[in-house]
Amino acid sequence: MDAISITAGQSIQREQATAIALIEHVTGFTLTNFEVSMDANGTVTRLKVEAKSLDRWIVAHSDELGRACIERFALGRDERKNVRRFDGVPAAWEFIGRSGCEGARSALRSFANYIADNSTSGVARLAVRAYVGRLLRTFEPEVSE
């Protein structure tokens, strides 16, 4: 089963580019990774989605066994690191938490809700979920011969 993925800098279809641009425009998050594996029925079997903003990073993933979760990180201060934020303050990613999900679709829903809640504009959860769904619909299920 080959994974279909979109990573930063990769050439993508026009529909995928439109959905990504909508998500990034309304939320202020940049999608850095979007990997999806589907079976012949169109069911998502494996998933890894990552998005970053200036001070947040979220990762949603799911495996073939149905285990899924989202992990959240925030940009914090760490005087020992040489990493610096845009304003010159020393920074490092700090783990905020992990939430278990019932499956890949639930993980995508939680991912969309999180980036909507932490967006730079007051965007509605349903709008972001619709944009993420639009991106997911651009992937084709695998057809086994």
Confirm whether 74 is domain-assigned.
no
**Number of domains, the chain:** 1
Confirm whether 44 is domain-assigned.
yes
pLDDT digit string, tens, across residues 53-83: 888 899 999 998 989 999 998 887 665 556 6
Confirm whether 109 is domain-assigned.
yes
The arithmetic mean of pLDDT across residues 93-98, rounded, is 87
Q: Is pLDDT above 70 for 31?
A: yes
How high is the pLDDT of residue 1?
35
pLDDT digit string, tens, across residues 128-143: 888 887 777 766 665 5
Confirm whether 10 is domain-assigned.
yes
How high is the pLDDT of residue 86?
62
Q: What single string gives the DSSP state of each residue in 131-145?
A: HHHHHHTTSPPP---
Confirm whether 78 is domain-assigned.
no
Confirm whether 79 is domain-assigned.
no
Count of other CB atoms within 10 angstroms of residue 136: 19
Instruction: Read off the tokens for 49.
Output: 């989605």
Confirm whether 119 is domain-assigned.
yes
The conformation of residue 88, written as its DSSP 8-state character, comes to S
How high is the pLDDT of residue 58?
92
Confirm whether 72 is domain-assigned.
no
The arithmetic mean of pLDDT across residues 24-28, rounded, is 83
Domain range for 120? 4-52+59-64+100-136
Q: Is pLDDT above 90 for 89?
A: no
